[in-house]
């Protein structure tokens, strides 16, 4: 396993470096355009292409990974992020909305190529008879990524305050270029390349289990983003009168905690037999999350202090959602076909990206129309649909 562990370390290091720049770039754009007087909804619109291109990239990226190898798709993702950062390193007077949206589109493509490659690569590095180890490795990769994304939020704010927007993106571009160069040299050749070259019409999964899991994932992540992406930051800022640093710091801390819980999921879900999660685990935790979200929506309508409800509710929601996400992240790799694994993983994360896109759009629309409590009720409905879909998942580990 020494070679596999070295490759896992390279894949994880690439993923970590990318995630830090991804989180920092998001915060840099949000803070910089907030300073320029853009409203929260206008700022959210800057990330629209980021989400749209994520849907397409996951679908096509899985096909590319199976044909040319995951090492190449991961390196392409790193290179595209370097280009996206470099595009933003222009004089302030040239920094237009179309340019930022274009750079975000490249960043969205890069992010999903990188994520798909990292998640798929683990399937190739862990033997099929070591499912407990597979669950631990996936949980560590996924959890550390989300924790580092939160660190990236802090990094973006610190860089903006210390050196300004232009210098910040130049520095990140230079560091990530070094990471890309090391990856090109060190990452194993032809990792994840399918023995039988897939045809383009094989983009869509033919596995019933993966189709069901993908549908559940779409509604699960749509539910999170319906209230978390736009509605919650705007509510904290406009209704609770939190300043931007309080709002950004709180959300960054939540993302870090969420990532730590994801990493600890194998310990939290440990049972007497030591078996990894099954489809029943996905159903059970989705049901628990439905109850938590609906309860939070109800409490927000009772007139009780909104600050206490949101802080306590967010912590509980984050813990249960993190466990849901870890179970899903393991199951997709478990269900995926070993030959051309990226096809199945790419299709699954395409559903994830589509859910995020729907959630982002609904977050702004529902909040403007009916407020935060309504966003939470819609989120509870989405998670309820996830629960119903999860009933059909396989109940065994095969």
Mean pLDDT of 118-122: 74
Q: How many domains does the chain have?
A: 1
Closest CA to 43 of 305, 363, 376: 363
pTM of the model as a whole: 0.81
Q: Provide the domain limits for residue 347.
A: 2-390
- Of 55-59, 108-112, 245-249, 381-385, the range with the lowest mean pLDDT is 245-249
pLDDT at 193 > cutoff 90 = no
How large is the average pLDDT for residues 136-158? 82
**Is residue 42 in some structural domain?**
yes
For the ranges 32-41, 171-180, 371-380, the lowest mean pLDDT is seen at 32-41
395 within a domain of the structure (yes/no): no
Quick one: pLDDT at residue 274?
A: 64
Q: What is the pLDDT, as a whole number, of residue 167?
A: 92
User: In Å, how far are 228, 353, 368, 386 from 382, measured between CA atoms?
Assistant: 14, 15, 19, 6
Please tell me the predicted confidence (pLDDT) of residue 202. Answer: 56
d(CA 226, CA 221): 9
Q: What is the pLDDT of residues 2-14, one digit of tens each?
A: 676 777 778 788 8
Which tokens sit at 120? 């798929």
Q: Tell me the CATH number at 98.
A: 1.20.1250.20
First to last CA, the chain: 23
163's CB contacts (< 8 A; 6+ apart) are 171
Cβ-contact 276, 132 below 8 angstroms? yes
User: Tens digit of pLDDT for each residue in 334-369?
Assistant: 888 766 677 788 888 889 989 988 998 888 788 888
Residue 397 lies in a domain: no
CB 198 within 8 A of CB 346: no
204 pLDDT tier (thresholds 50, 70, 90): low
Does 383 fall in a domain?
A: yes
Residue pLDDT, tens place only, 267-313: 888 765 567 889 999 999 999 999 999 999 999 998 888 889 988 99
> What is the predicted pLDDT for the residue at 376?
95
pLDDT reading at 128 higher than 70: no
DSSP 275: P
288 compared with 149, residue with greater pLDDT: 288
Question: Which of 15-19, 69-73, 211-215, 265-269 shows the highest mean pLDDT?
Answer: 211-215
Number of H helices, E strands in the chain: 14, 0
Closest CA to 112 of 203, 51, 67: 51
pLDDT at 45 over 80: no
Q: Is residue 117 part of a domain?
A: yes
pLDDT at 200: 55
Please tell me what DSSP assigns to residue 94: G
Within 13 Å and on the Cβ side, how many CA atoms surround 14?
A: 35
Choice between 75 and 388, residue whose per-residue pLDDT is larger: 388
Predicted local confidence at residue 201, as pLDDT: 56
| 310 is a domain residue | yes
What is the Cα Rg of the chain in Å?
A: 20
Domain-embedded: residue 398 = no
Question: What does residue 272 show for φ and ψ, rounded to 5 degrees?
Answer: -65, -35
Exposure of 264 by Cβ count < 10 A (0-12 exposed, 13-18 middle, 19+ buried)?
Answer: middle
- Percent share of the chain, pLDDT over 70: 88
Nearest alpha carbon to residue 341 among 61, 2, 13 = 61
Domain assignment present for residue 21? The answer is: yes
């Amino acid at each position: 396993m020494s070679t596999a562990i070295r490759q896992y370390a390279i894949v994880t290091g690439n993923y970590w470096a990318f995630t830090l720049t991804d989180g920092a770039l998001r915060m840099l754009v949000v803070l910089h355009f907030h300073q320029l007087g853009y409203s929260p909804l206008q700022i959210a619109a800057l990330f629209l292409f980021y989400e749209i291109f994520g849907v397409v990239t996951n679908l096509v990226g899985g096909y590319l990974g199976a044909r040319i190898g995951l090492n190449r798709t991961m390196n392409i993702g790193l290179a595209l992020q370097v280009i996206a950062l470099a595009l933003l390193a222009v004089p302030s007077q040239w920094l237009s909305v179309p340019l930022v949206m274009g750079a975000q589109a490249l960043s969205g493509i890069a992010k999903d190529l990188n994520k798909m490659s990292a998640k798929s690569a683990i399937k190739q590095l862990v033997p099929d008879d070591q499912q407990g180890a597979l669950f631990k490795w996936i949980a560590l990769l996924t959890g550390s990524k989300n924790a580092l994304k939160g660190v990236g939020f802090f990094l973006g704010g610190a860089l903006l305050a210390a050196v300004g927007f232009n210098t910040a993106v130049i520095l990140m571009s230079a560091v990530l270029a070094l990471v890309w160069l090391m990856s090109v040299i060190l990452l194993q050749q032809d990792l994840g390349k399918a023995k039988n070259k897939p045809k383009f019409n094989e983009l869509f999964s033919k596995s019933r289990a993966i189709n069901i899991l993908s549908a559940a994932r779409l509604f699960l992540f749509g539910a999170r983003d319906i209230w978390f992406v736009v509605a919650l930051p705007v509510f904290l800022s406009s209704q609770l009168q939190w300043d931007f640093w309080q709002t950004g710091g709180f959300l960054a801390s939540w993302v870090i905690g969420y990532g730590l819980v994801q990493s600890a999921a194998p310990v939290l879900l440990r049972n007497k037999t030591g078996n990894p999660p099954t489809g029943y685990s996905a159903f059970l935790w989705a049901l628990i999350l439905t109850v938590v979200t609906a309860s939070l929506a109800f409490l927000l309508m009772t007139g009780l202090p909104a600050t206490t409800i949101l802080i306590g509710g967010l912590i509980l929601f984050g813990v249960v959602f993190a466990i849901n996400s870890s179970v899903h992240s393991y199951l997709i790799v478990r269900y995926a076909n070993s030959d051309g694994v990226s096809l199945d993983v790419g299709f699954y994360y395409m559903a994830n990206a589509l859910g995020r896109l729907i959630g982002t759009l609904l977050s702004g629309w529902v909040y403007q129309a009916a407020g935060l409590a309504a966003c939470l009720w819609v989120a509870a409905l989405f998670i309820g649909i996830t629960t119903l879909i999860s009933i059909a998942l396989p109940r065994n580990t095969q």
